[in-house]
A = this chain, B = another copy of it.
């Protein structure tokens, strides 16, 4: 991929460079896990709330649950968006994202071992510069981990139900070149946008690639997955550093 070394990205990064990642734990006071995750100018508050009950469809199953909601402050973006609460419904995009967050975290959770309780993840974007769903997943994992640590410390769990890390990153074809971790300027102009979600062990949890302009080839798909794998390894390292594990 060295042929892309001369690509001029809007913020000067190399094609295979992540934006600076910052993970701040205990960002707010009350949640069992509370994280501010920053990927460049994208900033998301991720909280994990523990509730000692499960949704109706799991009642009496002994199994736990983890689910997620996602929102964006109206002025997280360049121009103000509608407040979904005022409009009276969540957009299709919001629903897609929150379903993705929940699915991704459940992929590394042993819900049976978690017992009849629920982790409710909330990801609220306070500033958006592309990649909010990926940042949400990466941050939510840390918040959920803190919530589980609290349950372990309190003796409510004897072993962690978390089987592996999970993190997410976007990749795309920008000006003909594969790039890692698109910001908003790149995301708006790219031909292909792919969100990749992987475990710490390098397994794929989710791949969502979309041709915004021209269709993409199998070869491009391969280059994108390579980039994503590298990026996620760095994100998992950042999670570990934040967690001190």
- Give me the interface of A with B, judged by CB distance under 8 Å: 28-31, 34, 41, 43, 45, 47, 49, 51, 69, 71, 73-80, 83-86, 88-90, 92-96, 98-99, 103, 107, 120, 122, 124, 126-127, 194, 198-199, 201, 203-211, 214-218, 221, 225, 229
Interface of A is mostly: mixed
- For A211, give its contact among B203, B216, B225 (CB under 8 Å): B203
- For A122, give its contact among B75, B78, B92, B225 (CB under 8 Å): B75
Q: Are B221 and A198 in contact (CB under 8 A)?
A: no
Contacts of A120 in B (CB 8 A): 74, 80
Number of copies of chain A assembled together: 6
Contact of A210 with B83 at beta-carbon distance under 8 Å, contacts A122-B73, A215-B199 already known: no
A103, B199: Cα distance in complex, Å: 28
- For A209, give its contact among B98, B201, B206 (CB under 8 Å): B206
Per CB-CB distance, the 5 closest pairs between chain A and chain B, nearest first, are A203-B215, A92-B95, A84-B85, A47-B75, A85-B85
A206, B193: Cα distance in complex, Å: 10
Q: Are B94 and A80 in contact (CB under 8 A)?
A: no
- For A89, give its contact among B88, B198, B211 (CB under 8 Å): B88
Query: Most B CB atoms within 10 A — which of A78, A88, A95, A194?
Result: A95
Query: Most B CB atoms within 10 A — which of A93, A209, A229?
Result: A209
Given contacts A194-B207, A203-B216, 5 further A-B contacts (CB under 8 A): A29-B41, A80-B122, A93-B99, A207-B209, A208-B209
Q: Are B96 and A83 in contact (CB under 8 A)?
A: no
Q: Are A211 and B206 in contact (CB under 8 A)?
A: yes
